[in-house]
Structure 1
Amino acid sequence: MPTQTARLDPRAIAAELVNWYAQHARDYPWRRTRDAYAILVSEVMLQQTQITTVLDRGFYARWMEKFPDFKTLAAAKEEEVLKAWEGLGYYRRARNLQKLAREVMERHGGVFPCEPAAILALPGVGPYTAGAVASFAFGLAEPIVDGNIARVLSRLHDDATPVDSTAGAKVLWERSRALVEATDDPRALNSALMELGQTHCSPTKPACDLCPVRAYCRAKEPEALPVKQMRQEITPVTERVIFLRTAEGVLLEQETGKRRTGLWKLPALPAEHEDAPPKVLVRAQYGITRYKVTLWVHEPHKQAGQWPETHRFIATEELESTPMPAPYRKVLQQLLTGGEFRLSA
Structure 2
Amino acid sequence: MSAGDDEGDAAESWSLPADVEAVQDALVEWYERDHRDYPWRRTEDAYEILVSEVMSQQTQLDRVVDAWEDFLEEWPDVEALASADRGDVVGFWTNHSLGYNNRAKYLHEAANQVVSEHDGEFPETPEGLQELMGVGPYTANAVASFAFNQGDAVVDTNVKRVLYRAFDVPDDDDAFEAAAGDLMPAGESRVWNNAIMELGGVACEKTPSCDEAGCPWRRWCHAYESGDFTAPDVPTQPSFEGSRRQFRGRVVNVLGEHGELALDELGPRIRVDYAPDGEYGREWLRGLLADLDDDGLVDLDGSGVDATARLRK
2:77 and 2:151 mapped to 1: Cα distance?
A: 25
% identical equivalent positions: 41
- What's the offset of the Cα at 1:11? 2.8
**Residues 8, 41 of structure 1: alpha-carbon distance in 2 compared, 3 angstrom cutoff:** farther
Contact residue 169 and residue 176 of structure 2 kept, 8 A = no
How far 1:50 sits from its partner (Å)? 0.5
Q: Does the alignment pair 1:196 with 2:199?
A: yes
Q: 1:116-154, CA deviations, whole angstroms, 9 ceiling, x for partnerless residues? A: 211122211122111111111111242112222121111
The DSSP-based 3-state class of the residue aligned with 2:195 is helix
Deviations 1:160-215 (A, max 9, x none): 42xxxxxx2232222222222x2553211111111111111111143257210111
State whether structure 2 residue 228 is matched by structure 1 residue 225: no
Seen in structure 2, the aligned counterparts of structure 1 residues 222 and 109 have a Cα distance that, compared at 3 Å, is farther
Residue equivalent to 1:290: none
TM-score of the superposed pair, with normalisation by structure 2: 0.64
Q: Of 75, 78, 92, which aligns to 2:83?
A: 75
Conserved in 2, the CA contact under 8 Å of 1:127 and 1:144? Answer: no
Question: Could you tell me how far apart the structure 1 residues matched to 2:104 and 2:229 are?
Answer: 35
Contact persistence 1:132–1:144 (CA under 8 A): yes
Separation of aligned partners in 1, 2:27 and 2:190:
12
Q: Matched residues in 2 for 1:116 and 1:88: separation? A: 24
Pairing 1:216–2:220 present: yes
1:225-253 Cα offsets, whole Å, 9 max, x none, are: 13489xxxxxxxxxxxxxxxxxxxxxxxx
Q: Which residue of 2 aligns with 1:304?
A: none
Which residue is equivalent to 1:61? 69
Query: Is residue 174 from structure 1 mapped to residue 178 from structure 2 by the alignment?
Result: yes
Q: Secondary structure at the match of 1:223?
A: coil
How many Å separate the matches in 2 of 1:49 and 1:135? Answer: 21
Structure with higher RCO (Cα < 8 A, 6+ apart): 1
Does 2:164 correspond to 1:154? yes
| More displaced 10-residue stretch of structure 1: 183-192 or 123-132 | 183-192
1:135 to 140, 145, 156: 145
**Residue of structure 2 in register with 1:145 after alignment:** 155
Partner of 1:102: 112
- 2:59, 2:98 within 8 Å by CA — same for their partners in 1? yes
Give me the CA root mean square deviation: 2.0
2-side partners of 1:15 and 1:71: how far apart? 39
**Which SS does the other structure have where 1:224 is aligned?**
coil
Question: Could you list the per-position Cα deviations for residues 81-121 of structure 1 after superposition, in whole angstroms to 9, with x for gaps in the alignment?
Answer: 01111211111211111111111111101100113211122
CA drift of 1:221 comes to: 4.4
Give the conservation status (yes or no) of the 8 Å contact 1:37–1:69.
yes
2:103 matched to which residue of 1?
A: 93
Task: Establish whether residue 39 from structure 1 lines up as the match of residue 49 from structure 2.
Answer: yes
Change (3 A) 1:184 1:113: closer
- Equivalents in 2 of 1:124, 1:175: separation in Å? 28
CA distance in 2, matches of 1:222, 1:71: 51
Aligned equivalents of 1:172, 1:221: Cα separation in 2: 21
1:11 equivalenced with 2:15 (yes/no):
no
Give the superposition deviation at 1:222: 4.5
Runs of 4 or more above 6 Å deviation? none
TM-score (norm 1): 0.58
Give 5+ residue unaligned stretches, structure 1.
Answer: 1-5, 162-167, 230-345
Q: Give the structure with the higher percent helix.
A: 2
Query: How many residue pairs get matched?
Result: 215
Give the secondary-structure state (helix, strand or coil) at the position aligned to 1:39.
helix
CA distance in structure 2 between the partners assigned to 1:198 and 1:149 by the alignment: 9
Amino acid at match of 1:19: E
CA distance in 2: counterparts of 1:118 and 1:183, whole angstroms = 20
- Code of the residue aligned with 2:205 in structure 1: it is S
Distance in 2 (alpha carbons) for counterparts of 1:117 and 1:125: 10
CA distance in 2, matches of 1:117, 1:222: 38
Alpha-carbon distance in 2 for matches of 1:94, 1:222 = 41
Structure with the higher fraction of residues in strand conformation: 1
Listed as ranges, the matches of 1:286-325 within 5 Å are: none
Letter in 2 for 1:155: R
Match of 1:84 among 92, 99, 116: 92
- Decide whether the 8 Å contact of 1:30 with 1:39 is kept in 2: yes
